[in-house]
């Protein structure tokens, strides 16, 4: 059983005396069901698990209304062996997207209060919007991602001591020992190749090698395409599929910006906005928007027509490339076209998993551009991702004293690359693998 961060989230949820029904959402195969099942059987005497896809007969349990007694009556009509004991029972509704009516019942379950309820599902398309609008104020939402780098380290046998040590070195701006740098880079390269899908990671950890992992990843890519075909509605289906199939193509471009005209010369951006949002809501992509100005606040300060699109899971990006791409990355070769894109993709994913929205900046007139921006309590932080430890012209322009007056919210910057920890008075240099600690570092450093 892989240790996941949701384990603590669920344990804290159960401790709250006035807890609401919980919806755990996320892309398919990120580990939602397994984590909830493990939690349920550790913390409840009675668990009633209903899968609306595998047990479609349960989709009719709300036919008589949403009153808790009526719902329970219909559940026990289908399976009289289910036991409902007030205060000791968890009801787990899985594959919620197959039965949106279930979300409407959460208000009744919260008001009734006798049973705890957790729902889970891949929330896609119209189903996503419908579920979101139901039972407002009577439910909690938690978005689950594929495994982050820290969870991958746990799977490989490391614990909190390693994370604490990395953070201490970052806060003290103290370079890591050579042996530790080398080992962390090896682990991070494995994580880039594998991504964070639990089945893929578990296969690697159990076997101690990469055998079979690529076939699992490629099956996931096919599963996502099948879901798009199943859940995307009408004309949107073709648009969603077109974007999904061209993500790696756009990441190979020098500016990596998503340009609709590359899909079709007559295509218009506004016609594809809904398709991009659909993929984002489904947990398949991360969208990074171009800022209007380099100033706080970030929300509302971006152009919705200019954006980059990244895979949510970098392992799936690698799997979408040549069949030999996985081995190439492990050996750190043959990535003249994609190397920068791969590092950008994984940094984007690591930022999103910390709760950040994604923003970049590009000024065509001044040639000033920056890969990402995050904010701390008081400052705007530019983040440059370099495939090698080379000079950073734009980062220097944004952080040297004579230019910072033009952007008063920016004081320092961050460069992520294949180099040890350092600070030159203007920006911090961190190795890629520390990205998962940036939010905590910013909080404690400031």
- Compute the distance between CA of residue 337 and CA of residue 205 in angstroms, rounded to an integer: 30
Quick one: pLDDT at residue 338? 64
Quick one: pLDDT at residue 367? 83
Judge contact between 307 and 290, C-beta under 8 A. Answer: yes
Quick one: pLDDT at residue 173? 97
Angle at 280 between CA 238 and CA 95, to 5 degrees: 90
Beta bridge partners of 427: 413
Residue with tokens 């609008």: 133
Residues with Cβ within 8 Å of 434's Cβ and at least 6 positions away in sequence, in order, are 166, 170, 416, 421, 441
Is the bond leading into 297 cis (omega within 30 degrees of zero)?
A: yes
Question: What is the model's pTM?
Answer: 0.91
Conformational region of residue 425, where left means phi above 0, alpha means psi within -120 to 50, and beta covers everything else: left
Radius of gyration of the chain (CA): 23
Spell out the per-residue pLDDT of the chain, length 446, in tens: 899 999 999 999 999 999 999 999 888 899 999 999 999 999 999 999 999 999 999 999 999 999 999 999 999 999 999 999 999 999 999 999 889 889 899 999 999 999 999 999 875 644 555 555 567 788 999 999 999 999 999 999 999 999 999 999 999 999 999 999 999 999 999 999 999 999 999 999 999 999 999 999 999 999 989 888 888 877 678 888 888 888 877 676 555 555 555 566 555 666 677 888 888 888 899 999 999 999 999 988 999 888 888 999 999 988 888 766 667 666 665 555 566 788 999 999 999 999 999 999 998 787 899 999 999 988 999 999 987 777 778 999 999 876 656 889 999 999 999 999 999 999 999 999 999 999 999 999 87
Backbone angles phi, psi at 290, to 5 degrees: -80, 125
- Compute the distance between CA of residue 430 and CA of residue 446 in angstroms, rounded to an integer: 17
Quick one: pLDDT at residue 133? 56
- Alpha carbon 115 to its chain centroid, in Å, reads 30
Question: How many residues are there in the chain?
Answer: 446
Quick one: pLDDT at residue 125? 46
Quick one: pLDDT at residue 105? 93
Judge contact between 388 and 415, C-beta under 8 A. Answer: no
- Can you list the pairs that 425-431 forms with residues at least 24 positions away whose Cβ atoms lie under 8 Å? 426/395, 426/396, 426/399, 426/400, 427/382, 427/384, 427/392, 427/395, 427/396, 427/399, 428/173, 429/389, 430/170, 431/176, 431/181, 431/184, 431/185, 431/188
For the chain, give the longest Cα–Cα distance.
75
């Amino acid at each position: 059983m892989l240790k996941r961060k949701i384990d603590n989230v669920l344990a804290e949820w159960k401790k709250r005396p006035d807890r609401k029904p919980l919806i755990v959402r996320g892309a398919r195969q990120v580990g939602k069901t397994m984590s909830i099942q493990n939690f349920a059987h550790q913390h409840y005497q009675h668990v009633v698990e209903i899968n609306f896809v595998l047990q479609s007969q349960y989709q009719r349990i709300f036919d008589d209304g949403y009153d808790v007694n009526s719902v329970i009556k219909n559940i026990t009509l289908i399976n009289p062996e289910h036991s409902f004991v007030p205060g000791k029972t968890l009801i787990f509704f899985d594959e919620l997207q197959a039965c949106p009516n279930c979300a409407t019942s959460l208000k009744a379950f919260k008001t009734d209060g006798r049973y705890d309820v957790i729902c889970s599902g891949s929330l896609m398309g119209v189903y996503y919007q419908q579920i979101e609008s139901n039972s407002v104020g009577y439910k909690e939402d938690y978005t689950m991602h594929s495994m982050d780098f820290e969870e991958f380290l746990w799977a490989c046998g490391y614990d909190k001591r390693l994370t604490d040590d990395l953070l201490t070195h970052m806060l003290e701006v103290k370079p890591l020992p050579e042996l530790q740098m080398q080992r962390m880079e090896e682990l991070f390269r494995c994580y880039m190749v594998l991504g964070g899908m639990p089945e893929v990671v578990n296969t690697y950890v159990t076997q101690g090698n990469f055998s079979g992992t690529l076939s699992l990843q490629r099956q996931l890519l096919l599963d996502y395409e099948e879901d798009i075909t199943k859940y995307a509605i009408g004309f949107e289906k073709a648009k969603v599929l077109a974007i999904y199939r061209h993500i790696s193509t756009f990441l190979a471009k020098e500016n990596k910006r998503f340009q609709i005209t590359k899909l079709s010369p007559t295509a218009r951006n506004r016609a594809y906005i809904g398709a991009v949002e659909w993929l984002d809501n489904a947990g398949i992509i991360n969208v990074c928007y171009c800022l209007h100005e380099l100033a706080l606040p970030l929300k509302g300060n971006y152009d919705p027509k200019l954006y980059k699109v990244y895979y949510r899971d970098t392992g799936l990006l690698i799997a979408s490339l040549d069949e030999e791409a996985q081995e190439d990355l492990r050996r750190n070769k043959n990535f003249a076209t994609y190397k920068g894109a791969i590092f950008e993709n994984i940094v984007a994913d690591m930022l999103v998993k910390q709760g950040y929205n994604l923003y970049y900046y590009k000024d065509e007139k001044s040639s000033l551009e920056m890969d990402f921006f995050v904010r701390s309590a008081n400052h705007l932080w530019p983040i440059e991702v370099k495939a090698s430890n080379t000079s950073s012209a734009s980062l220097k322009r944004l952080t040297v004293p004579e230019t910072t007056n033009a952007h008063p919210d920016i004081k320092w910057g961050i460069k992520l690359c294949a180099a040890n920890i350092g600070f030159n008075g203007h920006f911090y240099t961190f190795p890629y693998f520390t990205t998962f600690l940036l939010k905590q570092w910013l909080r404690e450093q400031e």
